[in-house]
Amino acid sequence: MRRRRTNRVVVVTGASAGIGRASARAFAARGDTVALLARGQGGLEAAAQEIREAGGRAAWWTVDVADAAAVERVADEVERTLGPVDVWVNSAFTSVFAPFWEIEPDEFERVTEVTYLGFVNGTRAALKHMRPRDRGVVVQVGSALGRRGIPMQSAYCGAKHALCGFHDSLLAELRHEGSAVRASLVQMPAVNTPQFRWVRSRLPEEAQPVPPIYQPEVAAKAVVWAADHPQRREYWVGAATVGTILGGRFAPGLLDRYLARTGVDDQQTGEPRDRSRPDNLFEPLDDEPGSDRGAHGAFDDVAHGRSVQAVASRHRRGLGLAALAAVGAAAVTRRS
């Protein structure tokens, strides 16, 4: 395989916080020029400044990924300003923590527009430029919840399930066309991002990721790896992601009963929710100067900084060869 070209142009949506913010930093640290896309100007300015202070190159654009025409205009401007886009990362999302029957129709629609159609819009804008050049990579930041839904997140889980179906269709169409453009889906575990203090919630207690929780830098490493190695159609990050996806595939009824017993409490901290706090469902919370939320959420004390499973998955071919070599050596030793 050819070596990765240096100084790529990388677009990251949802780049003002969380996985998008950590991924933008990771690409910039590799020498790539990063276009930061999100709604909140304050968060974007802080993210760009953070990258520049570290010696990287970044530019930012405010855009709502639910607006297809606006995303296409920004993609055109990125190409004019920074050059041909090599990698496009879709990471923007929003959510509502509540039972399905407590989510209003406009709220459900908004989550779907951002968390699913935002990825569709970003992919369409990227392919407009990549397909004529016959090169480029689209990385979709997915979730274990895209293969297995859980309670209190029906809108988010539905959107991530839709993303998986869209990804499957897109891969088949690119292959049918004989295109050299690649797309890869990275299924994430629970990640310590600001979302749990800024998405809309009707839970009685503060929301939290279902443990085990990983730092956004773990997710960012997987995103960068997928951009460098897009031959894999899908990557799973974290042992819990593997267990969730496989459990939903082979024992869905058992998982239904388990989640009915534990899924609601596991997503709450035990502390009463601050009902006066605003949310970012329809308006960004990091738009004003000084409102930056950063990449990390409130769970640094319990979040893991690495995933052994993710490392093993990225290097599974080498580990497999090493295992075969070890088995062969043991067989020779037994015969001697």
Closest C-alpha to 266, from 93, 158, 150: 150
Instruction: Find the radius of gyration of the CA atoms of the chain.
Output: 20
Angstrom CA distances, 154 to 28, 101, 138, 146, 277, stand at: 34, 10, 26, 11, 22
Cβ contacts of 309 within 8 Å, gap of 6 or more: 236, 237, 238, 239, 241, 242
Which residue in the list 116, 156, 214, 235 is annotated as catalytic? 156
Q: Distance (Å, rounded) from C-alpha 88 to C-alpha 162?
A: 19
Answer yes or no: are the C-beta atoms of 216 and 191 closer than 8 Å: yes
Answer yes or no: are the C-beta atoms of 154 and 102 closer than 8 Å: no
Angstrom CA distances, 121 to 25, 41, 82, 164, stand at: 23, 20, 20, 15
Which residues on neighbouring strands pair with residue 120, listed in sequence order? Answer: none
The two beta strands, 87-90 and 96-97, are unpaired
Place of tokens 């058992």: 254
Known active-site residue 156: yes
Structure token digits, residue 264:
């609601």
| Sign (positive or negative) of CA dihedral 56, 62, 67, 71 | negative
| Residues with active-site annotation | 156
